[in-house]
Amino acid sequence: MLSMATNKSRVSFVIPNETKKELEKIAKLEGRSVSNYVLYVVKKALAEAKQENEAST
């Protein structure tokens, strides 16, 4: 049995079929899995939000 890394959590959410198709297309173009691409996008958005918050304080 394979065990998942202990420093990671699973997240589940529902998106429209068309959005999933778009994610699959972009992920494939970038040589990523959909999961890896979504993680990349989320990390990028969090970094940008952090910079904006630091700039405004």
Given a contact cutoff of 8 angstroms between Cβ atoms, the answer to whether 53 and 46 are in contact is no
Q: What is the pTM of this model?
A: 0.79
For the chain, the domains span 17-56
Give residue 4's pLDDT. 61
Distance of CA 43 to the CA centre of its chain: 7
Question: Which residue in the block uniquely carries the two structure tokens 């068309």?
Answer: 18
Q: For residue range 13-50, list pLDDT tens digits in order.
A: 999 999 999 999 999 999 999 999 999 999 999 999 99
Neighbours of 39 (CB within 10 A): 14
Residue 56: which pLDDT band, with cuts at 50, 70 and 90? confident
